[in-house]
Structure 1
Amino acid sequence: MVLVIVLVLLVAGTLLFHFVSPWWFTALASNWGNIDSTIEITFWVTGFVFIAVNLFMAYAIFRHRFRKDRKAHYEPENKPLELWLTVITSVGVAAMLAPGLFVWAKFVDPPEDAAHFEVLGQQWHWTFRFPGEDGQLGRTHPHFMSEQNPFGLDPGDPAGQDDRLVFNNELHLPVNQPVKALLRSRDVLHNFGVPQFRVKMDMVPGMVSYLWFEPSRDGRFDILCMELCGMAHHTMRGQVVIEPREDFDRWLASQPTFADTQDDDRADPQRGAQLYGVCASCHGPEGGGNANMNAPRLSHLDPWYLERQLHFYKTGVRGSHEADRFGQQMAGMMATLPDRQAMRDVAAHIDSLTSETPDTSVTGDAQRGERLYRNCSSCHGDRGEGNYATNAPALAGQHDWYLRRQLEHFKQGVRGSHKGDYYGTQMTLMARTLHDEQAIDDLLAYINQL
C-alpha cells in the first residue's frame, strides 16, 4: 500500500506543480508560434502516458497485491494486448513527430525576401557581419583570420569590402522583417539561440549552418550559447535589439566596413609619444605605473586592449559609476585624446615602452590561488599573458593592488554593469566565483608568480 500511495501522490504532485508553477515559456517575439505548438503536443502526449502508466501501476499493485488465498496466473504471451499496445504507441509517437516534421520543413526554407547576416561565435563572445550596399557578403576563409581581420574575410574579394562588421555582442535587427542568420564558429561547437524567438542552431567549426525567423515586436532579448562550449560557457551572452527599420538603418550605418578596418596607416607612435606626456605624470615615463597616484602599469598591455579601454573611458562605459573615483579621473583626462586615432597613437607608443615588473603587496596561499586561477587561464592564458582571441588582457606583471580593486569592482557592479561593457559583463559573472577576500588574495598571490 505504501507504494500505491507514493505513485498516486507522484501523479497528483506533478499535476499540481504544472498548473501552479510560474515557470513556462518566455513571451513569444517571433513568427515561430508553431514551435510552441509542437512542444505542447509532445507535452500532452507524454503527460497523458505518464499519468496513465503510473495510475495503472498503482491499480495493478493494489488489485493484485499478495493474498494467501490466491495464486498468480502466469501468462507469457497475450497477442491481442501486444497488438493494442503497439498500435497505441505508434499513434502516440506519430502524434509527437508528425507536427515537428511540418514545422522543420518551414524552418529550413527561409522566404525569398529574408535579409541575411552572419553570426560568428567564439569562446566566449559573439560578433556579427552584415552585407553592404551590394547586398552580398564577402568570401571568408580561416587562413585569413588575424588580429586585424577576425572575421577571416578575403581581402581580394570586392564583395566583402563594404561588409558592415559588428565587433561587440549587441545585435540590432528590424522588426517585422524575415532574416536569415548564417552561423560560423571560430573554435569549438557553439549554439546560437534566442529563447523569445524559439530558434537555435548548432555552429560547427568548418561549416556554415543557418536559421531564420521574423521578429514580431520591439525589445531587447538575450542571445545565449545553448551548447556547452567550455568553462566560461555561461558567460557567452549577447543581446539582440529589435527596433523600427529607421533605427536599424541608422545603427547599421554607424558600424565600420571591412575596408575601414584594413587601413594600413592605423597608428603613429611618434604622435602618440607627444600625447602620452600627460599620461606620464601618473603612469610614469615608461608606463610602469604609480601606486601613490593609483595608476596601474601600462607597458605590458597590448595595444588593442589599451585602445578599447581608452575608448570606454571616452564614451562613459568606464568611469561613469559614482563609486569609481579613479575611473572618473581617467574619464576627465580623456579630453586630451580628441578622437579614436589619438587613442590608437597613444596605445602604439605605450607598446614601445618597457618597465620593470612591480613589487608585490598581497600575501596569500599561492597553491590555492593556482587552483582558483584555472578558471581565469581559459581566457587570460596559462601564464597570465593575455589572449586577443578571448578579449582577455595580460594579468602577469600588473600591480596586485590594481587587480584587487578591479576584481572587487566587478563583484560589486562598479565595473561591468554598463550596458556597453560587453566584456565586463563576463568578468562580473566570473569575479563572483571568488567568494571572499581571502580567495582574491590567494589568486593574486599566484598571479604574482607568473
Structure 2
Amino acid sequence: MRVAIAIVALVLGSIVFHLLSPWWQTPLASNWDSIDSALHITLLICAIAFVSLNLFLALAIVRFRHRPGSRAHYAPESPRLEKTLTFWTGLGIVGMLAPGLVAWGKYVDVPKDAAVVEAIGQQWQWTFRYPGPDGVLGTAGVQYMTPDNPFGVNPLDPFGRDDILVQGNELHLPKGKSVKLVLRSKDVLHDFYVPEFRAKMDLVPGLVTYFWMTPTTIGTFDILCAELCGVGHHEMRGKVVVEPRESFEAWLGQQESFNQLLAMSSPDAVTEMFRKANSCSTPATWGVR
C-alpha cells in the first residue's frame, strides 16, 4: 500500500512541478512556432503515458496485493492485450514523430528570397561571413585557410572578393528577413543554437550544413554551442543582434571585406594565399551561385 501511495504522490508532484515550474521555454523570437507545437504535442503524449501507466501500476499494486487464501491467475499470453498495447504505442509514436517531420520539412526548405550568412565554428569561438554587394558568397574551404585567410575564402573566386568578414562573436540580422544560415567547422563537431529562435544545427568537420529562420523580435540573444567540443566548450558563446534593416545595413557597411583583408596583408601573405589556392587539388567546399 505504501508503494502505491508513493507512486501516486510522484505522479501528482510531477504534474504540479510542471505547471508551477519557473523553468520553461524562452519567448519565441523567430518563425518556428511549429517547433514549439511539436514539442508541446510530444510533452502531452508523454504526460498521458506517464500518468496512465503509473496510476495503473498503483491500482494493480492495491487491487492485486497479497491476501491470505487468494491465488494469482496465471495468463502467460494475451493476444488481445498485445494487440491493444501495440496499437496505442504505435499511435503514440506516430503522434510524436509526425509533427516533428512536418517541422523538419519546413526547416530545410529555404525560401528563394532568403539572405545567406555563413557561421564558422572553431575551438572556441564563432566567426561570420556575409555576401558583399553582389549578393553572392564566394567559394570557401579549409584547404584555402592560412593565418592571413582564417575564413578560407578562395582568392581565385571573384565572387568572394567583396564578401564581408566578421571575426567577432556577434552576428547581426535584420528583423523580418528570412536568412539561410550556412554552417562550417574548422576543427571538431560544434552546434549552432539560439534558444529564442528554436533553431539549432550541428557543424560537422568536412561537411556544410544549414537551416533557415526569420527573426521576428528586435533584441540580443545568446548563441550557444550545443555539442561538447573540448575543455573550452562552456566559453563558446556569441550574440545575435536582431535590429531594424537600416541599422543592420549601417553596421554591415562598417565591416571588413575580403578585398580589404588582401590589401592590408603583406605581399608574402597574399602570395602564399594564391600559391595555396593554385595548388589545391580539391574544389572549394561550397559556394552560392
Aligned residues with identical type, % of pairs = 53
Q: Distance in 2 between matches of 1:246 and 1:266?
A: 35
Bigger-Rg structure (1/2) = 1
Q: Distance in 2 between matches of 1:124 and 1:202?
A: 15
Show the 5 A alignment for 1:216-231.
Answer: 216-231=216-231
1:44 equivalent to 2:50? Answer no
- Give CA deviations for 1:287-336 in whole Å, capped at 9, x if unaligned: xxxxxxxxxxxxxxxxxxxxxxxxxxxxxxxxxxxxxxxxxxxxxxxxxx
Q: Distance in 2 between matches of 1:264 and 1:38?
A: 50
TM-score (norm 1): 0.58
1:62 equivalent to 2:57? Answer no
Match of 1:33 in 2: 33
Q: Distance in 1 between matches of 2:10 and 2:251?
A: 53
Match of 1:125 in 2: 125
Match of 2:145 in 1: 145
Match of 1:300 in 2: none
On the 8 A contact 2:115/2:180 being kept in 1, the answer is yes
Match of 2:263 in 1: 263
Match of 1:195 in 2: 195
> Once the 2 structures are TM-superposed, how far is the Cα of residue 99 of structure 1 from its aligned partner?
1.1
TM-score (norm 2): 0.91
1:212 equivalent to 2:212? Answer yes
> Once the 2 structures are TM-superposed, how far is the Cα of residue 263 of structure 1 from its aligned partner?
2.1
Match of 2:105 in 1: 105
> Once the 2 structures are TM-superposed, how far is the Cα of residue 147 of structure 1 from its aligned partner?
1.5
- Give CA deviations for 1:372-409 in whole Å, capped at 9, x if unaligned: xxxxxxxxxxxxxxxxxxxxxxxxxxxxxxxxxxxxxx
Cα distance change, pair 51–256 in 1 and its aligned pair in 2 (3 A): same
Helix, strand or coil for the counterpart of 2:54?
helix
1:85 equivalent to 2:85? Answer yes
Match of 2:73 in 1: 73
Point out the structure with the larger helix share.
Answer: 1
Match of 1:11 in 2: 11
Q: Distance in 1 between matches of 2:218 and 2:143?
A: 38
The gaps in structure 2 that reach 5 residues or longer are 268-289
> Once the 2 structures are TM-superposed, how far is the Cα of residue 142 of structure 1 from its aligned partner?
1.3
Instruction: Give the partner amino acid of 1:173.
Output: L
The gaps in structure 1 that reach 5 residues or longer are 268-450
- Give CA deviations for 1:399-429 in whole Å, capped at 9, x if unaligned: xxxxxxxxxxxxxxxxxxxxxxxxxxxxxxx
Helix, strand or coil for the counterpart of 2:46?
helix
Show the 5 A alignment for 1:278-297.
Answer: none
Q: Distance in 2 between matches of 1:94 and 1:207?
A: 31
Q: How many residues matched?
A: 267
Match of 1:302 in 2: none
- Give CA deviations for 1:52-89 in whole Å, capped at 9, x if unaligned: 00010000011000011111111001111111111111
Cα distance change, pair 251–264 in 1 and its aligned pair in 2 (3 A): closer
Instruction: Give the partner amino acid of 2:182.
Output: L
Higher relative contact order (CA 8 A, sep 6+): 2
> Once the 2 structures are TM-superposed, how far is the Cα of residue 122 of structure 1 from its aligned partner?
0.3
> Once the 2 structures are TM-superposed, how far is the Cα of residue 141 of structure 1 from its aligned partner?
2.1
> Once the 2 structures are TM-superposed, how far is the Cα of residue 264 of structure 1 from its aligned partner?
5.5
Instruction: Give the partner amino acid of 2:55.
Output: L
Match of 1:327 in 2: none
On the 8 A contact 2:148/2:265 being kept in 1, the answer is no
Cα distance change, pair 11–135 in 1 and its aligned pair in 2 (3 A): same
Show the 5 A alignment for 1:315-394.
Answer: none
Q: Distance in 1 between matches of 2:221 and 2:73?
A: 61
Point out the structure with the larger strand share.
Answer: 2
Instruction: Give the partner amino acid of 1:70.
Output: S
Cα distance change, pair 265–90 in 1 and its aligned pair in 2 (3 A): closer
Cα distance change, pair 265–25 in 1 and its aligned pair in 2 (3 A): closer
> Once the 2 structures are TM-superposed, how far is the Cα of residue 265 of structure 1 from its aligned partner?
5.8
Match of 1:177 in 2: 177
Q: Distance in 2 between matches of 1:86 and 1:217?
A: 44
Match of 2:285 in 1: none
> Once the 2 structures are TM-superposed, how far is the Cα of residue 108 of structure 1 from its aligned partner?
0.9
- Give CA deviations for 1:101-120 in whole Å, capped at 9, x if unaligned: 11111111011110001000
> Once the 2 structures are TM-superposed, how far is the Cα of residue 143 of structure 1 from its aligned partner?
2.1
> Once the 2 structures are TM-superposed, how far is the Cα of residue 266 of structure 1 from its aligned partner?
5.1
Match of 2:283 in 1: none
Cα distance change, pair 230–244 in 1 and its aligned pair in 2 (3 A): same
